[in-house]
Structure 1
Amino acid sequence: MTATPEPAPACPSPPAATAPPSADPPLWRDRRFVLLAAARTISVLGNGFARVALSFAVLALPGAGPGQLSLVLACQAVPQLVFILAGGVMADRMSRSRLMIVTDLVGAAAYAGLAAMVLTGHAPLMALCALAALAGTATALFSPAMDGVIPLLVPAGRLQRANGLLRVGMNSSMLLGLALSGVAVAVVGAGWALALNAVSFVVSALLVRGLRLPARARTGSSGWADLRDGWREFAGRQWLWVVVAQYSVVVAALNANAGVLGPLVAENELGGARSWSLIVAAQALGTITGAGLAARIRVRRPVLIAVLATFPLALPIALLAVRAPVPWIALAMFGSGIAADIFGVLWATTIQREVPEAALSRVSSYDWFGSLAFAPLGLLIAGPVAARTGVGPALAGCAALIVLVSAAALLSPQVRGLRAPGPAPTGEERDECEAERPR
């Protein structure tokens, strides 16, 4: 029998009116990308201040304690989950940059109100809760719009690099904000630190205003119909809902560790707050490194690599469970920070490439909603579980959950098989294909 030769692979046709990669200027020379990156870096820096300042401001109130602090923080967190889907619908129905400006200004007003109450000494608990809820609502409406803006500014072939560079800036500013927030609170007080965050939102709004993205075409459909269409886009992609379901459990386990179980171990057996600060700082440094690395790597199966990058998140939790030395835990946390941002960049880029731009913010809102759905539950049950089983077994359970749900996600054929688009052919390759093409 004579073997039939395999046909040569078909020559790809370059997209119409697409310049070769070398013709694209660096992203840092793109004025609109720089404006967006600067807006996010400054806003995240202010949020780093606010995280610490709000807690100290509440605890400084007469008669305030952990219960009051939990109530204020819950009032900030719950709207982020409740209104995230509405944010997706709004971002797909209007100019995304305009929605970002409005929500930045709402956030500025909320933090300015909080700052004014703290500085004047008149800060009723219910008023603090109301302004914290307003700030959380602004965040919920902002996030899907932000996710949908990036593909409007950056060509598809450069999305991964853009997402990586944005995360480097945001992670660096968050680390700087957290590092300086304690100093700011000690030197100028919690009220002025909250005021600085309000100013950062105003600056962010002014920078986003320079994007000048056009208004979106109006449709005759209702918001509920748009929400249903977004759900169909989300549910119709197995790789998407499988990984979101995975991360709903992963985020709950991470929250339980970061918010309750890790600090308990550090306080009782690892030397207290100083050791825990070292561990958390190592993770923050890892996220900066991971985002920079993710901006450069090229992978053919991005969702598969993203899910595999989830497994290292269990290692520092397991080391905490067995009371490993602090340097080992910090090193594992550094590695988990790298892995977390490799996941984040690959995941965001894949969604932006695979989901139609017209539905991108709604799909992003379902992603946010699903990923955060169990986050409060992780904080809620961590303490009671640790009291019943011990902190060590509770930590071991969190690590096991991350490993098990990540392994389960790998069972999905689409998670394993979804491929990123290949690079555009070079001029030489196109010439060769043209010469071989039948006349």
Structure 2
Amino acid sequence: MIRGLAAMQDRNFRWFFLARAITMITGSMSSIALAFAVLEIDNDARSLSIVLAAFTVSNIVFVLFGGVIADRLPRALIIQSCYVVDILSIGAMAALLFTGTATVPLLAILSVVNGASTAFVLPAMQGIIPQLTTPEHLQQANAMLSFVRSAVTIGGPVIAGVVVAAAGPAWAMVVQAAGWLVAIPVLALVKLPPPAAEGGTTMFHDLRIGWHEFWSRSWLWTIVLAFMIMNAIHVGAWGVVGPYIAKNDDRLGITGWGWVLSAEGVGVLLMTLLLMWVPLRRPLRYGMIGIAAFAIPLTVLGVHPGVVLLAMAAFLAGAGAEVFATGWNLAMMENVPGEKLSRVASYDMLGSFVVMPIGTLVYGWLITQADPATVLIASGAVYGAIALATLAVPSVWRMGRPAAAVAPARAEVADS
């Protein structure tokens, strides 16, 4: 089989990939559908922020417990069960919109349910992938999933915009729920051994074990601590200041900002294709160098936000971000015991995400107090410095790959 698609040799991965692709494609319109649903009810940004914050806070609150459950129970079953919850919550949103009875508080409550469900799905997703394929196919498996994710990131908002504009946000939610409904029986075809039982331990005991596994790896907590700040900068500088610059600077404009975001997505997409074939032998070293490239578009946005130059910088940043994403997944999946992986992943998610809402609020305040260009240039410098500083940690710089993960690549080169 073509090396880039080698993970498709594994039956369980094929079915999981199909189910995941269905949910990523149909779910790619969810954020836009929800945003316009809220704004149809109350055309106020504060109402939208309440609904979005409800999802985020719920996700943060439940993610550690999601990690424990994903290490205790069959992960495919957890994902299926959460999809049922998602169908009910998303279906309830659609029903409220169809009947004209939707309110912002009701949508916020349903977003809490959806956020809690996602908190159980994400650690299970992280833990299940190494179970689906062999070590030598793990990089290709992650790259293939990233390829679909990046493709729908580019095309999903366009499709969502068309559906929402033509039929309304409720129908976009119906499409999403239908995707989840199809994915459930597909996931049932994934056959995995039951998880290793740990013998009557409490949930808090399991959390302590997960914390020990997390804190005992210097590369892991170092990078998570770095991303606490980096993610806050990303969502604030890129997600808040970026659109503000686009709206108020004719050199960029709203249309130009769309091209810049698309260029970033294309960078991700092309890098996923490359990583299907090229082994990533130093996953964290190259990953942190790659993610540091995001400092470039932040700086360009502050210095000279012209569409062409900024799009080129965003393309590089997107490619670098994918190197990190694949490298990070490989580092986690190859160096954390599988029976504890979901718990460790939940600590990663908590640390990486918990400051993001604060970053959004802080940057919203900063651009009213200081020159946006100064804020962006300083943010780019801090972001790049933090990312590259992690390379001073020996375990980040030196981490390699198991021999089984890279040996097939050498064999194929030798055969050719």
> Structure 1 length normalisation: TM-score?
0.89
Instruction: Name stretches of at least 5 consecutive residues in structure 2 with no aligned partner.
Output: 412-416
- 1:352 corresponds, among 310, 314, 333, to 333
* Contact residue 284 and residue 334 of structure 1 kept, 8 A: yes
* 1:350 to 1:426, Cα distance in 2 relative to 1, 3 A: closer
Deviations 1:391-411, CA, capped at 9 Å, x for gaps: 111111221221121122112
Question: What secondary structure, in the 3-state scheme, does the structure 2 residue paired with 1:221 have?
Answer: coil
Q: Following the alignment from structure 1 to structure 2, what is the Cα–Cα distance between the partners of residues 183 and 273?
A: 18
Partner of 1:245: 225
- 1:312 corresponds, among 275, 293, 296, to 293
* 1:168 and 2:120 matched: no
Q: Following the alignment from structure 1 to structure 2, what is the Cα–Cα distance between the partners of residues 426 and 359?
A: 26
> Which residue type is aligned with residue 141 of structure 2?
A
* 1:398 to 1:83, Cα distance in 2 relative to 1, 3 A: same
- 2:236 corresponds, among 243, 253, 256, to 256
Q: Following the alignment from structure 1 to structure 2, what is the Cα–Cα distance between the partners of residues 110 and 329?
A: 39
* 1:199 and 2:171 matched: no
* Contact residue 4 and residue 140 of structure 2 kept, 8 A: no
Deviations 1:322-362, CA, capped at 9 Å, x for gaps: 13311110111111111101100111011101111110110
* 1:53 and 2:27 matched: no
- 1:267 corresponds, among 219, 243, 247, to 247
> Which residue type is aligned with residue 111 of structure 1?
I
Q: Following the alignment from structure 2 to structure 1, what is the Cα–Cα distance between the partners of residues 4 and 146?
A: 21
What is the number of residues matched between the two proteins? 408
* Contact residue 40 and residue 170 of structure 1 kept, 8 A: no
Shift of 1:386: 1.0
* 1:221 and 2:221 matched: no
* 1:24 to 1:368, Cα distance in 2 relative to 1, 3 A: closer
* 1:138 and 2:131 matched: no
Q: Following the alignment from structure 1 to structure 2, what is the Cα–Cα distance between the partners of residues 29 and 301?
A: 25
- 1:156 corresponds, among 114, 120, 135, to 135
> Which residue type is aligned with residue 188 of structure 1?
A
> Structure 2 length normalisation: TM-score?
0.93
Q: Which runs of 4+ in 1 moved over 6 A?
A: 21-25, 424-427
* 1:386 and 2:367 matched: yes
- 2:20 corresponds, among 22, 40, 45, to 40
Give RMSD over aligned pairs: 2.2
* 1:398 and 2:370 matched: no
- 1:78 corresponds, among 35, 44, 57, to 57
Q: Following the alignment from structure 1 to structure 2, what is the Cα–Cα distance between the partners of residues 42 and 257?
A: 32
Partner of 1:10: none
Partner of 2:414: none
Q: Following the alignment from structure 1 to structure 2, what is the Cα–Cα distance between the partners of residues 383 and 314?
A: 19
Partner of 1:366: 347
Q: Which moved further from structure 2: 205-214 or 249-258?
A: 205-214
Deviations 1:66-103, CA, capped at 9 Å, x for gaps: 11111111111111111111110000000001001011
Question: What secondary structure, in the 3-state scheme, does the structure 1 residue paired with 2:107 have?
Answer: helix
Partner of 2:168: 189
- 1:236 corresponds, among 191, 216, 219, to 216
Q: Following the alignment from structure 2 to structure 1, what is the Cα–Cα distance between the partners of residues 287 and 405?
A: 23
Rg (Cα) greater in structure:
1
Instruction: Name stretches of at least 5 consecutive residues in structure 1 with no aligned partner.
Output: 1-20, 431-439
* 1:179 to 1:22, Cα distance in 2 relative to 1, 3 A: closer
Q: Following the alignment from structure 2 to structure 1, what is the Cα–Cα distance between the partners of residues 215 and 284?
A: 16
* 1:328 to 1:211, Cα distance in 2 relative to 1, 3 A: same
Partner of 2:79: 100
Q: Following the alignment from structure 1 to structure 2, what is the Cα–Cα distance between the partners of residues 426 and 47?
A: 37
Q: Following the alignment from structure 2 to structure 1, what is the Cα–Cα distance between the partners of residues 303 and 2?
A: 51
Shift of 1:232: 0.5
Q: Following the alignment from structure 1 to structure 2, what is the Cα–Cα distance between the partners of residues 33 and 177?
A: 24
Q: Which moved further from structure 2: 275-284 or 87-96?
A: 275-284
Question: What secondary structure, in the 3-state scheme, does the structure 1 residue paired with 2:305 have?
Answer: coil
Shift of 1:24: 12
Question: What secondary structure, in the 3-state scheme, does the structure 2 residue paired with 1:74 have?
Answer: helix
Q: Following the alignment from structure 2 to structure 1, what is the Cα–Cα distance between the partners of residues 393 and 44?
A: 46
* 1:127 to 1:23, Cα distance in 2 relative to 1, 3 A: closer
Shift of 1:426: 7.9
* 1:22 to 1:104, Cα distance in 2 relative to 1, 3 A: closer
Shift of 1:246: 1.2
Q: Following the alignment from structure 1 to structure 2, what is the Cα–Cα distance between the partners of residues 249 and 156?
A: 32
